[in-house]
Amino acid sequence: MRKVMKKYTRFYAAAVLLALLGLSSCESYFEADEKEILLDENYIGNTNELYSGYMGIAAKVQEVADKGILLAELRGDFLEPTANAPQQLWDIYNYSAGADNELADPSGYYGVIGNANTYIKKAFDFKESNPNAVENEVFEPLISGAIRYKVWAYLMLAKLYGEAVYLDAPLLGDEDLSKYPRLGFDELISQLISLMEGGVKGIDGKKVLIWSDLLFPGVNTSSQDLTWNMICPSPEPLLMELYLWAGSYEKVVSIGMPYIYDQGSKRYKLSNEDYNSEWVQFFYRDPITKTRELINIVPFDYRRGQTHRLIHYFSNTEPNDYFLRPTEVAMSRFEAQVRQDGVTVGDRYRGEDYTYWNQNGEWVVRKFSRAHELPDNVYKNDVHIVLYRAADLHLFIAEALNQMGLFAEAEAFLNDGVQNYLSKNEGNLRYPLDNETYNSAINTNWGVRRRVDLGPVYPEGLDRNDLDSPEKIEAYRKGLDLLLLEETCMESAGEARSLFAMIRMAKRWADPSLVADRVSAKYPAGKSDAIRNHLMQPQHWFLDDGL
């Protein structure tokens, strides 16, 4: 009976999801009317709604996927408005956005959270009433995925707004959020870790549903299946980032190392298979050909009405409006890099022509638009948005190792790679690079910088082999943090990573200048000092949520 039920469940799930995927119709697989479903008292009354309700959460994530990029990069040092930009973009750039600024409105993130809360409650109600309708091996990962969507949305609220109204109950219409408790940044991070680890009713946030196995058991994985496997934030990257914010550095490493090992696969290694300019293919329209380093994406498809604002805002080719451009200070960072042979030639594979380029006589962000430059694609704002990729994890691990005082090991991930570390330190390997099992696979790792033919970098004026005092050790640790921050600004430019890394390190070192100096450098004379003074007050790192 169990095998029959399992076969039926999978067949039924495949039928439902094929319809949602649009493989049997022209409709978007994210077109489930989540507002209607989630407010219906009979929501999740059958197995169909168990799956379509989950897609309702994913649809809400689509709505806010570009928001984090626009808000973080405008307030970081990578983007500035052009003369075409509307006032709301200028206000965000000038750190003067009020509660009435539409782009700064946090309600979209609360929409994700509200949908997740409703889904979790109704799914448990359905399971209680229909215990045999769906197997636990499917039900539990669905609940777990809803938890991770909620955690991701709250983490974005923490990073953008510095605090959030926390709620576990479903929202009923336009509720007044002010009646719920408001958690500060550190409280919120702690709460999210508890939710991920403890979960809801015995189901934590770490169970993963392999959609391709559910949809097509026994069939070779296709591009479409791979997309489905990446739509929900994976537990490991999400937990690594949370623990990094919490200062639990050993946890970051203990989660990250087995994840990038990935049972000896070729994924997540930053190997020479994606060296030099190969990395940029992650941001092509169809990234599935480069799954070695992609972990999680928010997929879009212009044909199904799934679009966002990135190409529209970044491209200066009609019909796009070219609202935002890369800053001089960000571009100069790439140009100052030294390659492996010691010659200063700039970051040839992440700088000009890759992250940005000169088009129609103006500097534009190119990272997301390489497949949207010809007339037949220039108007399609549907490049997938990456939530996590392998380089994020390597930089997380390096940052954690640095705080643990494992400087050579941190530098291996940043600079020359595990491969060179193992050859140079044979007989003297240290945690976490003393694990023979992991090393059998990650010894192909080239490091973040070597992968793009850049030379190693070290804290200026300090020698790692001559750290004979606590003061020197702390100076080295901070210097390496700053190098990791600099690398994040290049590797992750335009991906809503850099400003958050600035904030995390400024909090760690109780040094607001780590935000203020970097961000203010992009402003013209006269404005720069005012912005710097503003950002020396940590409360100004965050947006006003208007709640």
The 3-state DSSP class for residue 79 equals strand
Distance between CA atoms of 439 and 433, rounded to whole angstroms? Answer: 7
Residue 454 DSSP symbol: B
Supply the Cα-derived Rg of the chain in whole angstroms.
23
Helix (H) or strand (E) holding 389: strand 385-389
How do the domains of the chain map onto residue ranges? 2-209, 230-295+390-509, 300-383
Residues whose CB is less than 8 angstroms from the CB of residue 546 and which lie 6 or more positions away in sequence, other chains included:
98, 99, 100, 104, 105, 106
The 3-state DSSP class for residue 325 equals strand
Digit-coded pLDDT (tens) for 7-38:
434 444 444 444 444 433 333 433 434 443 34
- Residue given tokens 């094929």 in the structure block: 18
Distance between CA atoms of 77 and 93, rounded to whole angstroms? Answer: 10
| End-to-end CA gap in the chain | 52
CATH 1.25.40.390 fits 2-209, yes or no: yes
- Residue given tokens 């190409």 in the structure block: 311
Cβ neighbourhood burial of 416 (10 Å; 0-12, 13-18, 19+): buried
Q: Which two tokens stand for residue 425?
A: 């330190």
Q: Decide if 449 contacts 455 (C-beta within 8 A).
A: yes
Residue 159 has, within 13 A of its CA and on its CB side, a CA count of 30
Q: Decide if 547 contacts 106 (C-beta within 8 A).
A: yes
Digit-coded pLDDT (tens) for 41-77:
445 556 778 888 999 999 999 999 999 999 999 999 9
Distance between CA atoms of 101 and 361, rounded to whole angstroms? Answer: 31
Digit-coded pLDDT (tens) for 184-199:
999 999 999 999 999 9
The 3-state DSSP class for residue 418 equals helix
432 preceded by cis ω (within 30°)?
Answer: yes
Percent of the chain with pLDDT over 90: 70
Query: Which residues does residue 356 pair with via DSSP β-bridges, in sequence order?
Result: 352, 365
**CB neighbour burial string for 440-472, b if at least 16 within 10 angstroms, e if fewer:** ebbbebbbbbbbbbbbbbbbeebeeeebeeeee
pLDDT in tens, the chain (547 residues): 334 334 434 444 444 444 444 433 333 433 434 443 343 444 555 677 888 899 999 999 999 999 999 999 999 999 999 999 999 999 999 999 988 999 999 999 999 999 999 999 999 999 999 998 889 999 999 999 999 999 999 999 999 999 999 999 887 666 777 778 899 999 999 999 999 999 999 999 999 988 777 766 766 665 555 677 889 999 999 999 999 999 999 999 999 999 999 999 888 999 888 788 878 787 765 656 556 788 999 988 888 888 999 999 999 999 999 999 999 999 999 999 998 888 888 999 999 999 999 999 999 999 998 888 888 888 888 888 999 999 999 999 999 999 999 999 999 999 999 999 999 999 899 999 999 999 999 999 999 999 999 999 999 999 999 999 999 999 999 999 999 999 999 999 999 999 999 999 999 999 999 999 999 999 999 899 999 999 999 999 999 988 8
Distance between CA atoms of 547 and 545, rounded to whole angstroms? Answer: 6
Closest CA to 121 of 193, 35, 196, 53: 53
Q: Decide if 383 contacts 488 (C-beta within 8 A).
A: no
Distance between CA atoms of 487 and 502, rounded to whole angstroms? Answer: 12
Q: How far is CA 434 from CA 402, 418, 421, in A?
A: 17, 11, 11
Closest CA to 306 of 30, 492, 88: 30
pLDDT computed for residue 291 by the predictor: 62
Q: How far is CA 407 from the centre of its chain?
A: 25
Q: Which two tokens stand for residue 145?
A: 């995925």
Query: Which residues does residue 69 pair with via DSSP β-bridges, in sequence order?
Result: none
Measured on CA atoms in the order 408, 413, 416, 418, is the torsion positive or negative?
Answer: positive
Q: Decide if 417 contacts 447 (C-beta within 8 A).
A: yes
pLDDT computed for residue 546 by the predictor: 84
319 preceded by cis ω (within 30°)?
Answer: yes
Q: Secondary structure of the chain: what % helix, strand, coil (to 5)? A: 55, 5, 40
SS (H, E, C) 330-376: HHHHHHCCEECCCCECCCCCCCECCCEEEECCEEEECCCCCCCCCCC
pLDDT computed for residue 5 by the predictor: 38
pLDDT computed for residue 104 by the predictor: 96
Distance between CA atoms of 293 and 389, rounded to whole angstroms? Answer: 6
Closest CA to 160 of 493, 500, 485, 510: 500
DSSP-derived secondary structure for 162-205: SEEE---SPP-SS--GGGS-EEEHHHHHHHHHHHHHH-BTTB-T
pLDDT computed for residue 221 by the predictor: 60
SS (H, E, C) 196-222: HHHCECCECCCCCCCHHHHHCCCCCCC
